[in-house]
Structure 1
């Protein structure tokens, strides 16, 4: 998967842009995300229903995946069943 690819959720309205990705299955709401919006909606898994926030970047613990949320939804993001977390902002350097 190339950076810049837009993925859409089958379980909710969430859409993300891939910033960084390795081999693995990107999911939202417990269902795989694809470039085209699926014709049939998938059920939202209770374990992955925390929601996504527009403009936030989501990353994995190893830093191999980074996704930018461009449209929020009710499902939460995961890779191969492991939840992604919101990336923390870098602190600005102190000005003396």
Structure 2
């Protein structure tokens, strides 16, 4: 587990996915992609095997989409898409939906 910081850049160890943290939780978190913890982009090359995402974690990530947890305490922006799904530990992240605009009558 690591303390995620707003503006931090992370990459997957099992696919091409890269993200930037837009909103970080106050507690330590285990940001994962493809079922494997992500590493900081500055740390160089991925260390896990390139066997691909784990089963159930292979839904992919979409370029330019924001992903968030159910509580809204974490939000990441995908800067490079890949085959792995994003999550916090064993909990998958969801694509953030746009807020509806107020009706103008």
What is the TM-score normalised by the length of structure 1? 0.91
Q: Distance in 1 between matches of 2:79 and 2:31?
A: 15
How many positions carry a matched residue from both structures?
Answer: 96
Gaps of 5+ in 2: none
Contact residue 28 and residue 75 of structure 1 kept, 8 A: yes
Partner of 1:31: 36
Q: Give the drift of 1:81.
A: 1.2
What is the aligned partner in structure 1 of residue 49 from structure 2?
41
Aligned equivalents of 2:50, 2:94: Cα separation in 1: 22
Structure 1: runs of 5+ lacking an equivalent: none
Root-mean-square deviation (Å) = 1.3
Q: What's the secondary structure of 1:27's corresponding residue?
A: strand
The answer to whether structure 1 residue 85 and structure 2 residue 94 are counterparts is: yes
SS in 2 for 1:53: coil
Instruction: List structure 1 segments (4+ residues) > 6 angstroms apart after TM superposition.
Output: none
Which of 21, 24, 27 lines up with 1:18 in the alignment? 21
Using the size of structure 2 for normalisation, the TM-score is 0.84
Does the CA-based 8 Å contact 1:31-1:42 persist in structure 2? no
Structure 2: how far apart are the matches of 1:68 and 1:6?
Answer: 10
